[in-house]
Structure 1
Amino acid sequence: MMADIMDFIRPTNAFELAAFAKNHHDTYQFIEPIGTELSGKSILITGASKGIGRATAVRCAKAGCARIAVAARSSLEGVIKEIKDEAAKLLARISKLLLGGKLDILVNNAGYLPEFKTVIESDPTEWWKAWEVNVKGTFLCCHYFLPFVLNSKTKTVINLSSIGAHTLSYGASSYQTSRFANVRLNEFLAREYEDDELIAISIHPGGIKTDMAANFPEMLHFSLADEPTLPADTIIWLAKERRNWLNGRFVWSNWDLEEVESKQDLIVENDLFKFRMTG
């Protein structure tokens, strides 16, 4: 059975990537917010009505974020209430509007996962929708909001990608190539705005059983074992200070970030976690 699964997903070097540090499936003490991590900062989170985006918005309130803007195609009423409730516990001041002409953190979380089908079997419109949401959507948010991010001191963009960017799963050409493109686009952001000191990081959020995962093949549902607080708190940890040593790189949310932090010299010296061909 496992051999069939491995043949289906064709993980290339994904497992070696996962093994860079010990793994977690939920938040843990090193990254769990205590209420001051994002104090005074502003953040915009796309795809925030449910799943990872919703969890991130609520955890940002727990981290003391001063201004939280949330965007989604579906209703935000519930998540806004959760944000306000969490903020009230910390006496944090929460607003739905970004003020002062600056944005500290942009989180491009909105995503789309089509049903797994081969290139011939795929509906072209459905196949392209993953690129419209995952790539064009990320581009548009960067296009319009980067001027505000660059006007801040934190200057951080976090782009959701996937381990799918590193695998060749049967029928996943739409989703996995779009997530591959997310990582490369992230590298371009770091490169084009290096003189402006932008920090751009792409992340794999883990295996989260969200609504988006409904199109995930049944045989792979066993891998959806992580809690949404894991990527949410990972995002907060990444954004609470400027992580120059991770700029332009891909981060696996399951990694133990205390261990990863101890290896930052190794990461920089070997220019790890970027797409490269070796010969």
Structure 2
Amino acid sequence: MAFRHLTKTIHHTVYPAISPSNPLNSAHGKTVIISGGASGIGYGIAQAFAAAGAATVVIIARRQVALDEASTKLCAEIASMGNKTVVWTYLLDITKEAAVGDAFDDIRKRLNEGVEPNTQLKDADVLVTSAAHVGQGETTLNYSPQAYRDAFETNLFGNLNLTRAFLKPEIPAIPMATLDRRAKQTSPFLHTHTHKQKIILDVSTLSTHVVFPGQATYATSKIAFTRAMQQLQNEVDGLPGTPIRIHSFHPGAVFTPAIASQFGGKLEGFDWDDESLPGGFAVWLASPAAAFLKGRFLLSNWDVEELIALKEKYEEDPEFGTLSLKT
């Protein structure tokens, strides 16, 4: 199926406007948590935030060996750049809600070691939901019910666990009015913390828009979380000061270990993207320049300067660049 791009320029690797070394994309002082950060796209994003000067990069993964290898490699890269980014690792199954909550509580505890009493507590700044359950190769009805459950456990419920733990301090303040106009009881906690902005980067997929063969479990579970994030952005927009923004984006066609395990090797003639592309794009999305794109779906291949040129259209049309019905 053909897909109509929003920009004329299509990128396949990092370029100056989204480069982590571009001062406009600085992540100085930020704490960034990346699930699935030990390999593939997640690791590329970890590299990019480290290169952009993040204070702390937290890598979450399910295999200790992968965590150790990623941490050793990333720390060596940081040292070669002369940066001071600290790398923390957590062995974690994101489908286990209690374990996710414990991990985020520990992150907050470590961030606030040595903080003076009665001062504002530190918290993580950016959450990147990069861990994914990838399914490929069956027809929609040939996938077993368990295959669907497995995909949703990670791609929806696991990512919701991460989001819930990341926004734990803010959740009591998020307002909502139901269809019958009953308002949720909220806490004023966040109203004294409006200078702090949190960013969620949903590493989504083009499969949420385009029907690709053999991706029924992957596409349906990924679109479920991306739609949940669209819903959440609408809710948190009711908070004063725009303290939370969410961006969902297709990372590109990157030949990751997960893809290799599905296909067995690179598809000949396929135009693959470099893993530096989603890394740089994620860093740019976390910068102030991308604030107008909150709640929208993007492709990391799109040229950001052309996106900025469309800023007025984005601001005028709240459905532009979202998951919506074309009529």
Matched, 1:40 2:87: no
In structure 1, the partner of 2:17 is 30
Residue 62 of structure 1, CA deviation: 0.8
In structure 2, the partner of 1:235 is 282
Change (3 A) 1:211 1:111: same
In structure 2, the partner of 1:67 is 56
In structure 2, the partner of 1:254 is 301
Aligned to 1:137, the other structure's residue is in SS state: helix
Residue 25 of structure 1, CA deviation: 0.4
The aligned runs of 1:138-217 (5 Å cut-off) are: 138-147=159-168, 153-196=196-239, 197=242, 198-213=244-259, 214-216=261-263
The CA deviation string for residues 24-46 of structure 1, in whole angstroms up to 9 with x for no partner, is: 00001111111751001110000
What is the one-letter code of the residue matched to 1:48? G
In structure 2, the partner of 1:274 is 322
The whole-number CA distance in structure 2 between the counterparts of 1:62 and 1:236 is 10
The whole-number CA distance in structure 2 between the counterparts of 1:91 and 1:23 is 31
More deviation in 226-235 or 85-94? 85-94
Matched, 1:91 2:83: yes
Residue 233 of structure 1, CA deviation: 0.7
The whole-number CA distance in structure 2 between the counterparts of 1:231 and 1:186 is 19
Confirm or deny: 8 A CA contact 2:16 2:22 kept in the other structure: no
In structure 1, the partner of 2:134 is 113
TM-score normalised according to structure 1 size = 0.87
What is the one-letter code of the residue matched to 1:34? S
The whole-number CA distance in structure 2 between the counterparts of 1:220 and 1:265 is 39
What is the one-letter code of the residue matched to 1:273? G
What is the one-letter code of the residue matched to 1:144? A
Change (3 A) 1:211 1:93: closer
Change (3 A) 1:54 1:148: farther
Change (3 A) 1:178 1:44: same
The whole-number CA distance in structure 2 between the counterparts of 1:153 and 1:223 is 42
What is the one-letter code of the residue matched to 1:94? V
What is the one-letter code of the residue matched to 2:234? R
Residue 183 of structure 1, CA deviation: 2.1
Confirm or deny: 8 A CA contact 1:154 1:241 kept in the other structure: no
**Structure 1 unaligned blocks of 5 or more:** 1-10
The whole-number CA distance in structure 1 between the counterparts of 2:315 and 2:227 is 18
Change (3 A) 1:264 1:223: farther
Change (3 A) 1:146 1:222: farther
**Structure 2 unaligned blocks of 5 or more:** 89-106, 113-121, 171-189
Residue 19 of structure 1, CA deviation: 4.5
What is the one-letter code of the residue matched to 1:168? V
Change (3 A) 1:270 1:20: farther
* CA radius of gyration, larger in: 2
Residue 218 of structure 1, CA deviation: 7.8
Residue 185 of structure 1, CA deviation: 1.3
Matched, 1:104 2:115: no
Confirm or deny: 8 A CA contact 2:17 2:304 kept in the other structure: yes
- Identity rate of aligned residues, in percent? 28
Aligned to 2:17, the other structure's residue is in SS state: coil
Confirm or deny: 8 A CA contact 1:35 1:64 kept in the other structure: no
Aligned to 2:3, the other structure's residue is in SS state: helix
Residue 106 of structure 1, CA deviation: 0.5
The whole-number CA distance in structure 2 between the counterparts of 1:93 and 1:49 is 16
Change (3 A) 1:148 1:108: farther
TM-score normalised according to structure 2 size = 0.75
Residue 190 of structure 1, CA deviation: 0.6
The whole-number CA distance in structure 1 between the counterparts of 2:302 and 2:129 is 20
